[in-house]
Amino acid sequence: MTFAGMFSYLVFFLIFVGIYAIMTLALNIQRGFAGLFNIGIAGFWAVGAYTSAIVTKGASPDHLGGFGLPFILGLLAGGIVASILALLVGIPTIRLREDYLGIATIGIAEIIRLVIKNEAWLTNGVRGVSAIPKPLAGIFGSNYNLFFLLIVAAVIAIFYYLSEKGINSPWGRVLRAIREDEEVVKAAGKNVVRYRMEAFILGAFMMGVGGALYAHFTSFISPEAFRPMQATFLVWIMLIIGGSANNFGSLVGAFLTWGIWTGTEFLTGMLPAAYTTQAAAVRVILIGIFLEVILLSRPQGLFGEKKYSSKKTAADN
Amino acid sequence: MFKKKIFITMLVMLFLSLTVSGVFAQETVKIGTLMPLTGGLASYGQFTRNGTLLAQKIINEQGGLLGGRELELVNVDTQTNPQAGVDGAQKLVSVNGINAIVGALSSGVTIPVAESVTVPGEAVLISPSSTSPVLTTLDDNGYVFRTVPSDSLQGVVAGNLAADLNHEKLAIIYVNNDYGQGLNEAVIEQFENRGGEVTASIAFEPNKVSYRSELMDAASDNPDALLLIAYTDDGGITIIRQALENGYFNEFIFTDGLKAPEITEGVEQYLEGMRGTAPTSMPGGQGPELFTELYEEEFGEIPPKPYIDTSYDAAFVLALAIEKAGSTEGPAIRDAINEVLSEDGMVVNINEWDKAKDLIEAGEKIRYEGASGPVIFNDVGDSMGAIGIWKIEDGDIVTESVEIQ
Amino acid sequence: MVAQLFLNGLILGSIIALGAIGLSLIYGILKFGHFAHGDLMTLGAYFAFLFKVQLGLPFWLVFVLAAAFTAGIAVLLNIILYRHLKDRDSVIVMISSVGAALIIRNFVLLFWGPQNKFYDKAIQMPIIIGDGLLRIKENQIIILVLALSLVIAVHLFLSKTKLGKAMRAMADNIDLAQITGINTEKVIIWTWAMGGVLTAAAGILLAFDTHLTPVMGWNLLLPLFAAVILGGIGSPYGAMFGGLVIGISQEMSTLIISAAYKPAVAFTIMILMLIIRPSGLMGKKV
């Protein structure tokens, strides 16, 4: 590999880090700030990815299409449909205990996967949706990935800014209070369910956008994309390593986790081909053990919860 | 301090793995291979990969490419799954800078790889086994080829086989992807042309624990036999076993994805005498025999599975095209492919890489005679070919006859 | 056709029921959803494969060993992981069980590989009843008999033995149970052990009926939770009933909807339960 090769790889690597960072920021809103247990991340991701693919592609005999909308609208559509899904899922389950929500989200992710696999008129089923347009593809030639990385970075910047703003706002304070002690907040007359639902939907919107970005980058998605359970689990590791309820932590967590994950891929890639599956299994086991160790020894992650605006409120008073 | 430590360890790990993986190594000429080492076609991938490795060995032993550089094959396990295949191809093209790829085996993987990666990325893709008719009409700017004939041929042979075995009513169960659907349609067309009736045509999803519902539906109008279009490991074997166990079928016709002795394990007595179809080498020419010899010398006994020879050919043809083009740029390789297969060129056999190099240098036309017979691509990158009818005898697979296009 | 579907559902339901009993008790006593329960099922099935096919031991010994080993792993998980984490956030302990699930699943993948495996290479022809009305394999009869015996054994254990009664008491109301002087630590360990034994049995029966694959247990996790919620968290009898209902509904649903959506049936039943009566049919009020 030449220097150019290394640089190519770095850009490729960072794009994935970026997409995962978006997912982690999203989960941070749901879990870190609102205390929700979402293990169906893959479902929201998939909905975002497929929605964007369908609305941006031209007509196709294989699946629903023909809208040919521009990339940005694709991203928005992905986010919006994911939000609608969150609304529908949340209505029966948000008011329940968090573990019920967890089980329900796994169920939802599974149902979404089934729909994607079987409603071939919509998604082309197991054959997947290919040739998803990359924004401004022709212009950048071999430097295209760098351009895409800039897009991803821009999206992260926007979401990070909005998330920080949100958490420091009155809305954000109520949310965090709910997480600390729900009963007190209820007694104060706040509609706890509504706040939780809003956090759930916001997070889902971001996950949808993340999924859409993935679709446009890889140009091909199928029910197997994102390796549902593995990816969901990786995002949780990213959140916990970085420190739940800390946006900066989420970014760092994504970078480190994906780095370790791909690093192990490099190492196992040097084994003879006969050991490919075993190598992949070993990697998952290692990262699983890594998570358990973190949970047992340093559950607050690298950065712990960020102290938000406590100074401000004191000064206000 | 904890954070810093982790960060530094990570960087060190990354650096180490890069060095060990040969960042600072010699510049080789790379060809990518997309092979299913796991998943539904795992029982084929290991061997087809050997086909490419054999080509690599011969080429490197006889002087390498583009002025003595070694041929390096960069392999990706497609897991017989389009997502993994596309992700892997993506890496080969945009990160490794590879513009010549052998693969994939399954049409369900090859087609998305072509549409999403190699065609837009201007890399040449030669599949040794993807038989879906979709590849014929794929909008590919000439970047996609295959060393195996389309299922429009295999479908005809299979349909005829069913009719010749005096089956009047046929049920078809096919894997839900481009390969399965294409072959299914071709079989139905031919079988109905011969006056037969297809009572059921059912798509199945791979990797399910039980196919009893599909089998129940397929058997519902009392067909004479089941024609099964599937891969061995992600459904084919399960369907055969459950069909037998639950008494749904006892007459089968198999297709190329099932031509592997593994399907008879535990059920030899029930499958004795059953037949199937699969692309096979064209008769005549010394390529096939020579290939078997060379393969067995290197890897031991050659299994009766298809596409090992066509994989060799795909790799060899790509190497010849690179040598002819004098470059590793996609468009140049693409244009050189048919020049190394000129009808009036001098014959180059599968172990005559050095001869080919000399002829190319001298500006002479060459014609590669492959391990699967003469390799000829038509103007859409499709191959002529032969379809063989195989039979299960004593738990083993033997060839019965060959139909030529 | 209806009869056949009912039979298939009964078999699947028995398997789900066995897995759900342990899951329900753990949920009731330890107050968290054990997401690795499905993969313990897989582990049990593969242990049996090891003892039966790779080591060639007789069937009864295979069963006992596989169940014992799985029980051991379950207890180990509790000691190493869950015990330390459960007093914190319930989400943390659940995520750790998701992690444990992934580890177990990939451990199986690592040691036995991804290909489908069978306890017996040869196939069995079915007994045909009533001119094709019903097809049942000898294996399936054995499965039903074994499942029933295990359920009866569990019932006797829970109702007649001191330990069993203590388990039920703790699952029902842990504070009250502690006041009556029950050795809660001991009961917890035995709950894990029993959960491990039963889920291993479920896995073995499932593999016996179909085949072994590393994701076999994970694929049943949702139906397991659905059965637990349907029956009421903490109620082993509810879990048995819930399992059967889920299994039968899933199979019979193919009369109305496409077979591809079978897994959605369990989920739908569960969501309906959560909306209408979250405490389940036999559970206490939440």
User: What pLDDT is stored for residue C196 in this prediction?
Assistant: 95
In a domain, A73, yes or no: yes
User: What pLDDT is stored for residue A101 in this prediction?
Assistant: 85
Q: Which residue has the tokens 């390529």?
A: B287
Model confidence pLDDT, tens digit, residues B22-55: 554 558 899 999 999 888 888 899 899 999 999 9
Q: Which whole number is the average pLDDT over B338-346?
A: 88
Over 80: is that where the pLDDT of B6 sits? no
The neighbouring-strand residues paired with B72 are B30
Nearest CB partner across the interface for C126, out of B38, B42, B247: B247
Query: What is the length of chain C?
Result: 286
**Cβ(B273)–Cβ(B392) below 8 Å:** yes
Whole-number percent of chain A with pLDDT over 70: 94
**Cβ(C14)–Cβ(C243) below 8 Å:** yes
Nearest CB partner across the interface for C216, out of B39, B209, B214: B209
Which candidate, A95, A123, A124, places its Cα nearest to that of A36?
A95
Band (A317; pLDDT cuts 50, 70, 90):
very low
Q: Do domains B26-150+284-386 and B152-281+387-404 have the same CATH topology?
A: yes
How many Cα atoms are found within 13 Å in the side-chain-facing hemisphere of B296?
10
Distance, C-alpha B278 to centroid of its chain: 11
**Cβ(C180)–Cβ(C47) below 8 Å:** no
Taking the Cβ of residue B3 and every Cβ of chain A, the question of whether any pair is shorter than 8 Å is answered with: yes
Cβ neighbors of B386 (< 8 A, separation 6 or more) are B149, B279, B280, B281, B282, B283, B373, B402, B403, B404, B405
**Cβ(C267)–Cβ(C226) below 8 Å:** yes
Whole-angstrom CA distances from C135 to A131, B2, C250 are 47, 63, 19
Which candidate, A130, A168, A135, places its Cα nearest to that of A33?
A168
Question: Which of residues B242 and C122 earns the better pLDDT score?
Answer: B242
Band (B332; pLDDT cuts 50, 70, 90):
very high
Which candidate, B297, B295, B329, places its Cα nearest to that of B312?
B295
Whole-number percent of chain B with pLDDT over 90: 55
CA distance C261 to C238: 25
Which candidate, C105, C49, A278, places its Cα nearest to that of B38?
A278
Taking the Cβ of residue B12 and every Cβ of chain A, the question of whether any pair is shorter than 8 Å is answered with: no
In a domain, A137, yes or no: yes
Q: Which residue has the tokens 């001119």?
A: C131
Model confidence pLDDT, tens digit, residues A224-246: 777 777 788 899 999 998 888 88
Amino acid at B208: K
Question: Which of residues B2 and B320 earns the better pLDDT score?
Answer: B320
CATH class of domain segment(s) B26-150+284-386: alpha beta
Q: Which of C4, C8, C112, C115 to mutate to test the interface with B (most CBs of B within 10 A)?
A: C115
Question: Which of residues B5 and B66 earns the better pLDDT score?
Answer: B66
User: What pLDDT is stored for residue B24 in this prediction?
Assistant: 46
User: What pLDDT is stored for residue C172 in this prediction?
Assistant: 80
Taking the Cβ of residue A300 and every Cβ of chain B, the question of whether any pair is shorter than 8 Å is answered with: no
User: What pLDDT is stored for residue A316 in this prediction?
Assistant: 47
Q: How many CB atoms lie within 10 A of CB C35?
A: 27
User: What pLDDT is stored for residue C220 in this prediction?
Assistant: 92
**Cβ(C177)–Cβ(C166) below 8 Å:** yes
Which candidate, A218, A211, A227, places its Cα nearest to that of A47?
A211
Cβ neighbors of C226 (< 8 A, separation 6 or more) are C242, C246, C266, C267, C269, C270, C273
Q: With a cut of 0.95, is the ipTM above it?
A: no
In a domain, A127, yes or no: yes
Check CB contact under 8 Å for B112 and A220.
yes
Which candidate, A221, A12, A223, places its Cα nearest to that of A132?
A221
Q: How many CB atoms lie within 10 A of CB A123?
A: 24
Mapping DSSP to helix (H, G, I), strand (E, B) and coil, where does residue C280 land? coil
- Which strand ranges, in their side-by-side order, compose the sheet holding B366-370? B346-348, B366-370, B373-374
Distance, C-alpha A271 to centroid of its chain: 31
User: What pLDDT is stored for residue B405 in this prediction?
Assistant: 65
CA distance B4 to A299: 18
Q: Which residue has the tokens 């792993």?
A: C73
Q: Which whole number is the average pLDDT over B312-326?
A: 94
Is the CA virtual torsion A224, A228, A229, A230 positive or negative? Answer: positive
Q: Which residue has the tokens 């919006």?
A: A80
In a domain, A261, yes or no: no
A58: domain range? 9-227
Q: In the structure encoding, which two tokens stand for residue C250, read together?
A: 């899933």
Check CB contact under 8 Å for B176 and A218.
no
CA distance C234 to C27: 6
User: What pLDDT is stored for residue A199 in this prediction?
Assistant: 94
Q: Which whole number is the average pLDDT over B196-221?
A: 88
Taking the Cβ of residue B250 and every Cβ of chain C, the question of whether any pair is shorter than 8 Å is answered with: no
Task: Measure B381 CA to nearest chain C CA, in Å.
Answer: 35
User: What pLDDT is stored for residue A314 in this prediction?
Assistant: 44
- E strand map for B58-175: 71-77, 100-102, 124-127, 144-146, 169-175
- Phi and psi at A131, nearest 5°, equal 55, 40
Q: In the structure encoding, which two tokens stand for residue A207, read together?
A: 């996950």
Task: Measure B220 CA to nearest chain C CA, in Å.
Answer: 11
Q: Which of B46, B176, B202, B213 to mutate to test the interface with C (most CBs of C within 10 A)?
A: B213
Check CB contact under 8 Å for A118 and C258.
yes
CA distance C280 to A185: 28
CA distance B61 to B357: 13
What radius of gyration do chain A's Cα atoms show?
20
Q: Which of B44, B81, B212, B217 to mutate to test the interface with C (most CBs of C within 10 A)?
A: B212
Which candidate, B93, B106, B90, B95, places its Cα nearest to that of B37?
B106
**How many domains does chain A contain in total?**
1
User: What pLDDT is stored for residue A190 in this prediction?
Assistant: 80
**Cβ(B392)–Cβ(B271) below 8 Å:** yes
pLDDT tens track, chain C, 286 positions: 788 889 989 999 999 999 999 999 999 888 888 999 999 999 999 999 999 988 888 888 999 999 999 999 999 999 999 988 877 777 888 889 999 999 999 999 899 988 788 888 778 787 888 776 788 888 889 999 999 999 999 999 999 998 998 888 888 887 888 888 888 889 999 999 999 999 999 999 999 888 898 989 998 999 999 999 999 988 899 999 999 999 999 999 988 887 778 888 998 998 888 888 878 887 665 4
Closest residue of chain B to A301, computed from CA coordinates: B3
Amino acid at C85: L
**Cβ(B127)–Cβ(B51) below 8 Å:** no
**Cβ(C70)–Cβ(C200) below 8 Å:** yes
Over 50: is that where the pLDDT of A311 sits? no
Cα of first residue to Cα of last residue in chain B, in angstroms, is 71
Whole-number percent of chain B with pLDDT over 70: 96
Mapping DSSP to helix (H, G, I), strand (E, B) and coil, where does residue A242 land? helix
Q: Which whole number is the average pLDDT over A5-33?
A: 90
User: What pLDDT is stored for residue B103 in this prediction?
Assistant: 87
Can you give A197-238 as a three-state secondary structure string? HHHHHHHHHHHHHHHHHHHHHHCCECCCCCCHHHHHHHHHHH
Average pLDDT of chain B, as a whole number: 89
Query: What is the length of chain B?
Result: 405
Q: In the structure encoding, which two tokens stand for residue C29, read together?
A: 């006593």
Q: Can you give the residue ranges of every domain in chain B?
A: 26-150+284-386, 152-281+387-404
Over 60: is that where the pLDDT of A315 sits? no
Query: Alpha helix (H) ranges present in chain A?
Result: 3-27, 41-56, 71-93, 98-118, 120-123, 137-140, 144-168, 170-180, 182-187, 192-218, 228-242, 247-268, 276-297, 310-316
Closest residue of chain B to A223, computed from CA coordinates: B83
Q: Report the CATH number of the B152-281+387-404 domain.
A: 3.40.50.2300
Over 70: is that where the pLDDT of B232 sits? yes
For C84-116, b/e burial (b = at least 16 CB within 10 A) is: bbbeebbbbbbbbbbbbbbbbbbbbbbebebbb
Taking the Cβ of residue B266 and every Cβ of chain C, the question of whether any pair is shorter than 8 Å is answered with: yes
Model confidence pLDDT, tens digit, residues A42-62: 999 999 999 999 999 888 877
Whole-angstrom CA distances from B128 to B52, B59, B308, B375 are 10, 19, 8, 11
Check CB contact under 8 Å for C106 and A285.
yes
**What are the chain A neighbours of C107 within 8 Å (beta carbons)?**
281, 285
Model confidence pLDDT, tens digit, residues A186-213: 888 888 889 999 999 999 999 999 999 9
Check CB contact under 8 Å for B238 and C126.
no
Q: Which of B41, B237, B246 to mutate to test the interface with C (most CBs of C within 10 A)?
A: B246
Q: What is the DSSP letter of C95?
A: H
Band (B1; pLDDT cuts 50, 70, 90):
low
Task: Measure C137 CA to nearest chain A CA, in Å.
Answer: 30
